[in-house]
Structure 1
Amino acid sequence: MPQPEPSRDEAAVRTFIENFSAQLAEFGIPRMAARVMIAEMAAEGNGVTAADLAQQLGASPAAISVALKYLTDLGLIVREPIPNSRRDRYRAVDHGWYTATLLQSGGLGRMGDTVAAGVDAVGGRDTDAGRRLAEMRDFYRFLIEELDGIMARWTQSRRDDPA
């Protein structure tokens, strides 16, 4: 028996895009970039044009352009030419959020290294400032170790159940 076509509720999709992008903005992702990223992830097919995104999100072409550059630089979205056209389409990269999380791990490592230099700069961990900075350094190092383990378990879970 054939499966019925899933119904897509465009109003609910718009609400989801706005709600989730607002949450991502609370974590420091630029709001328009978050809106574009979630709109891309929620899009069916092989991507959308910048003009389509501007219309869907009610945003200026310039704002969309800046967000797309930000997201392509992070590797979350790819730009592909449309055959026989001067336009490009953009699509979310499969597993892009996973890759971005791994890249974040590298940033945490650099922050930990920088804070470690700060511990030395303030006279070591025997000073008040040194104790505070050492705790920050240790926390970043802890996060990296935990994140590496989490990502390994995630990868294994995808192999076990690719959904």
Structure 2
Amino acid sequence: MNDRYEQRQAAERLALTLTEGGLQRMAARTLAAFLFTDQESITAGEIADQLEASAGSVSGAIKSLTTVGLIERLPSPGSRREHYRLRDDAWATLFTSQNTVIQAMLQAASAGIAATDEDDPARRRLTQMRAFYEFLLGELPALLHRWHRQSG
């Protein structure tokens, strides 16, 4: 067995764990490819080749990983392909206001509250939802500060 084979096996095991945790299968495999690459950046085509997957499925996975803040697009002067990499602070970014999913949840809760009557049980649930995400975003800066102090 060579190191590359062992890395691929470890990447597939990680992807399986992420899938069992709720991540879409292709997003999990794509994230594992970013984690295990030895390149500074990687293109969607390279990932598709590596995973033996369609360009469309990898493109969708990249979009979802970008949306939650795990990966970012890099400038690639002279290249016609988009280059991506795992963000330096990917795991912390996942839990910040840069995460468009958290912002979308807040907006959806607010829109739901505006669309319901004062005595509607849905309004109470939506208010609780919004309060949770506002609390989460309020608590995250101190948590992330402690993380940066510990990991830095």
Please give the alpha-carbon distance, in whole angstroms, between the structure 1 residues aligned to 2:123 and 2:136.
20
Aligned counterparts, 1:8-47, within 5 A:
9-10=6-7, 11-25=9-23, 30-47=24-41
- Work out whether 1:76 is the aligned partner of 2:102: no
Which amino acid letter does the alignment assign opposite residue 30 of structure 2?
V
Of 153-162 and 79-88, deviating more is: 79-88
Instruction: Note the alpha carbon deviations across 1:84-141, whole angstroms, 9 max, x for none.
Output: 6554432112224543432333222212211212322xxx31xxxx0x2122122212
Confirm or deny: 8 A CA contact 2:69 2:87 kept in the other structure: yes
Cα offset for 1:13? 2.2
Cα distance, 1:46 vs. partner?
Answer: 0.5
What residue in structure 2 maps to residue 3 of structure 1?
none
Alignment partner of 2:85 out of 86, 91, 115:
91
User: In 1, Cα distance between the equivalents of 2:130 and 2:111?
Assistant: 12
Change (3 A) 1:12 1:133: same
Question: Please, which runs of 5 or more residues in structure 1 have no aligned partner?
Answer: 1-6
- Fraction of identical pairs, as percent: 28
CA RMSD of aligned residues (A): 2.9
What 5-or-longer segments of structure 2 have no aligned partner?
none
